[in-house]
A and B are shown apart, each in its own frame.
Chain A
Amino acid sequence: MKIKYILPAVLAGLLAACAPSPENVGESEALPPIYPDYVGVTVPQNIAPLNFLLRDSCEALYVTAAAGGYEIKSHKKGCEAVFDLLEWKKLMEKGAGKGITVTVTALIGDDWIKYKPFEVGVSDDKIDSYLTYRLIEPDYEVFSRLQIVERNIEDFSERVICDYNTVGNRCMNCHTHAPGDGDLSFLYVRGEGGGMVLNDHGKIRLLDFKTPDMVSGSVYAQFDPTGRYIVFSTNAIIPAFHSRPEKRLEVFDTKSDVYVYDLKQDKVLRSPLLADSTRLETFPTFSSNGDAIYYCVANGPVRPSAIDSVHYSLCRIGFDPKLGKLGAKTDTIVSGIPGRSVSHPRVSPDGKRLLYTVSDFGTFPIWHREADLQMIDLGSGKIDTLQVVNSEMSDTYHSWSSTGRWFVFASKRDDGLYGKPYFAHVSADGKVSKPFLLPQKSPSFYDDNLKSFNVPDLGPAAVSFMPRDVASAISEGK
């Protein structure tokens, strides 16, 4: 046996030897109060170990996870269950398409208590292996020391792809993959000389397609399926605060328009239907085959005192990718009404479904506690309110896995302040499962963490650029 296997085994043995073993175990009918909540969730078979902690003051924890006659365990002092990565991978193979059973036994005071075992569904459908997100404090008004990070969700490795140290502590945001292409992506570095930074398979360049008539540089943008076009909105954004402390921040647009940028011809495509000065067009995204653009629109002008009367509708306009032409008419897919303002539409890769956020009003759902995800079947028009997915807090900033079987979204369900990446499975017939939180090596990671995982985005492969490449593109203005 190789040393790399012996050493962890010896260490695990030593740790287990230090932890007391269960004896005279009493049984409880209650499910274990674990965090993150992995009870009854469905996970992809290529996910990293679901390490968790018990929200009880326990002395030791003995946890087994079993599938198909194979069992792994975590036996440690304290309240944390941490599984070995290699054993976990084997367990996932055994449980794929079925599930695993997790049994938690805790030493609380002088008594061992065995909680009711729970199931974790393991889907055959794999999820894209890479997740990118910005780490930022939840008060978006100010920032310092921002990073955009890429995490391999099959294990716990992560690397910084854009770092405050190399771009002069500037604002950066929204790393977005092209559909199905892990190494075609863009991100923004804001401030003077900044803009959209395009990563074309490791070649980094700064894009400057702002024209004087645009209200701002691009703010919300998405690739088309071929990677040739980028549809984007320009927004005049106003940050504001609610006087009620639990509502905290409000952000709204006073102007916004939508355009398309042709990367091949270095040309901006326009339509008066998407740049109507009396309306606010925003959150554009391409359909899965690139023949239409979905976007949100509300009537202007917006008065701060009447922000709660601004409701965005979901609309669609045709697009001819061969000719680079926008359609001559628009269709309303979901009407914006009081209590239902639509934002962040995202079409599934198979083109069957569209996922979007609804909030009571406005355009910044991450600070709206009532913000929920909904999914519309583009064939039948039937809306799924995704009750199994949504929470009492904000659920938004979603993106699809390239297979269309998973989506990730940022949820503030744990504390109302810090957005964290949750993943939900969508079966072939559109049934959505209970979401689960991105696992971390240390189960107490999220308790200590004071950053939001902002705009999580899934990609099938790792991007091939480094922070210094972004810095070079910015400093050279290329």
Chain B
Amino acid sequence: MDVSVKNNQKMLKRRNIIIIVISLACCVALAMFYATAYRSHILWQEQNQIFLNTSHWIATYFSKPAWLGCLSGDWLTQYFHNPAAGAVILTLVIAYCTVCFAIGVRRMFPVTATSVLSCLFAILLIACSMTASTTMSFFMCVAGGLTLGLARVQIRYGKKHGLDISPLLVIPAYWSFGFGALISAAFMIAFSSKRALQDRGDRSLWLSALCAAVFAAATPAALCGFYALPYAKGLLYPGISEPSFPDFEHEERLAIADAFFSGNHERAKQLALNAASPNDISAFYYYLSSALQDSLPDNLLKYEVKSLGTLTTIGDKTPLPVINMMNDLYYELGDMTYAERAAMMRNVFSPRNRNVRMIRRLAEINLVSGDTLAALKYLRILGRTHAYAEWSREHMPGKAYAEVESEIARRRALSNSKDNIRLGDNCRNILLELLESNPKNIVALDYLLCTDLLLKDMDTFKMDYDTYCMSKGSPRYKDLYQEALMIYLAGTEASQEEWDRYVVPGPLFESFRRYSSRRGDPAFRGTYWYYFDKQ
């Protein structure tokens, strides 16, 4: 063999090894990124859907196009319950798509162009994965479309003239992978066009390209009536993801909400405190975690954003994270009616109108409210999932673990025992009802009093404090409430007897005397007096 040919082969081999090593390194880096910096996004994918291991559930995927893309995507997503596994799965699928793309493009373009195009394609897919609404179904449809397109390219590669029926592949491609058929068709058109330009005498290649284009456009048109889809939606089913830059703010919010949902209130608080961009969601979970640790009054003025959620209403235009927040708030307060309403609402706006986190929450809500039949309904559904079957068994009425029973009993004691008709989600009324049912519901009490104080409604605060603390013989001695009471008493020129009744003598009272002569002094930042006057 010629020496130069041998050298060429060596160089090619070396180049290939370098490409493989770089690609592997990129994959590892990408998986690490997903597993660490984008962990909550990965988990959110799993929490925002449900996959049931039943034949009936699987059969439902055939009612729309892209059944294989959606089925495989949802099936894989259930393993995102472990974010590390999710990170690996997502990386492998993106890598697979890129490899398919590269092999196909290599049949048409030289190495350098193939490398550049493949890199751009990989970047595009990674950018799509950064969008919170992107699902694995999208990636599986891309992968399926690429696979069928590549199969056609490989089959026809090197073949000369003759009847080419491969454009017919676009039809099963649409059935199985929805918009993935467009990718298959694009591959076919590009490949046939390239060959036709090379071999000018072969008109069948142009015909082949034309057929692929026609099938890609006509198949959704022919089937949109059957699938009850408008043409534009049917053509791009199950939906195209938009590329975006990593959204670390959203990741931060998801991480806080996840920590709270998993019961790690201290972590939720710390994440909220360390948030690079504090917002309503981080504030909400900071306060709710504090309330569950009996420290809402202690922390109310420590977070720069004030959002208790008690002034928030939800409807069909409400962002999903806010509906989640309201579900968490009412569940922790003990109002199972509105916790269930928010959970139902969140389900309705999820893919296929259900998500596993809210199914689990609905089971919990009905266990607490003693609606065993409804709880069983949700527990049976969870029993058919990969990740929650064990949780379902642990919560089965009559067979539940002792700690589960005790937690249900604790929450049941907080819930509403009286019936009223509510025309809207006026949280104040709900808090009052909860306190009427159980005056020892400290979380509800703190939310009521703290809402009054954030609104600077001192008369209402005093009335609520009297009703639920003084008249019950259990004054709540928290600095925040003491400071607020001092404002009220000073403002109403209360008698000494009143002062003695409400205020505990001590350093706080002395501090108030000093503040009274220096109102608005930033040295008193952090007190309710300063908040009342200045913020």
Contact = CB atoms under 8 A, between A and B. Distances in A.
Contacts of A244: 337, 416-419
A240 B422 contact: yes
Interface string B283-318: 000000000000000000000000000000001100
Interface string A296-313: 000000001101000000
Contact of B52 (A160, A448, A467): A448
B421 A416 contact: no
Interface string A233-268: 000001011111111101000000000000000000
Contact of A242 (B230, B348, B371, B419): B419
Given A415-B374, A417-B377, A447-B380, A250 B421 contact: yes
Given A137-B347, A245-B336, A450 B354 contact: yes
Contacts of A141: 341, 345
A188 interface: no
Contacts of A304: 421, 423
Contacts of B348: 137, 139, 142-145
A117 interface: no
A304 B423 CA distance: 8
Contacts of B421: 240-243, 250, 304-305, 307
B373 interface: yes
Contacts of A444: 54, 56
A373 B370 CA distance: 26
Interface in B311-362: 315-316, 335-338, 340-341, 344-345, 347-349, 353-354
A246 B503 CA distance: 42
A466 interface: yes
Contacts of A468: 225, 228
B107 interface: no
B381 interface: yes
A466 B347 contact: no
B337 A416 contact: no
Contact of A241 (B315, B337, B349, B354): B337
Interface in B406-457: 415-423, 430, 433
A471 B232 CA distance: 15
B171 interface: no
Of A139, A144, A245, the most chain B CB neighbours within 10 A belong to A245
B267 interface: no
A70 interface: no
B57 interface: yes
A241 B381 contact: no
Contacts of A418: 377
Given A144-B349, A246-B370, A447-B381, A240 B337 contact: no
B55 interface: yes
A441 B54 CA distance: 13
B229 A165 contact: yes
B250 interface: no
Interface string A436-469: 0000011011011011000000000000001110
A466 B316 CA distance: 28
B340 A415 contact: no
A166 interface: yes
B365 A245 contact: yes
Given A139-B348, A442-B56, A447-B380, A243 B371 contact: no
A35 B373 CA distance: 14
A243 B345 contact: no
Contacts of B48: none
Contact of B420 (A137, A165, A243, A450): A243
Interface string A119-140: 0000000000000000001110
B384 interface: yes
B423 A238 contact: yes
A414 interface: yes
B348 to A, nearest CB: 5
B335 A243 contact: yes
B228 A442 contact: no
A407 B418 CA distance: 37
B165 interface: no
A467 B384 CA distance: 33
B472 interface: no
A241 B422 contact: yes
A468 B371 CA distance: 41
B254 to A, nearest CB: 22
Given A445-B56, A448-B52, A243 B341 contact: no
A183 interface: no
A224 B305 CA distance: 61
A415 B384 CA distance: 18
A415 B369 CA distance: 14
Given A165-B228, A417-B377, A451-B353, 19 more contacts: A137-B353, A139-B348, A144-B348, A144-B349, A160-B228, A241-B338, A241-B422, A242-B420, A242-B421, A243-B419, A307-B421, A414-B377, A415-B374, A442-B55, A447-B377, A448-B56, A448-B57, A466-B225, A468-B225
Which A-B residue pairs are the 6 nearest by beta carbons?
Answer: A442-B56, A163-B228, A245-B336, A139-B344, A245-B369, A244-B419
21 contacts: A137-B347, A137-B348, A139-B348, A141-B341, A166-B228, A240-B422, A242-B419, A243-B418, A244-B418, A245-B371, A307-B421, A415-B376, A444-B54, A447-B380, A447-B381, A448-B54, A448-B381, A450-B354, A451-B353, A467-B228, A468-B225
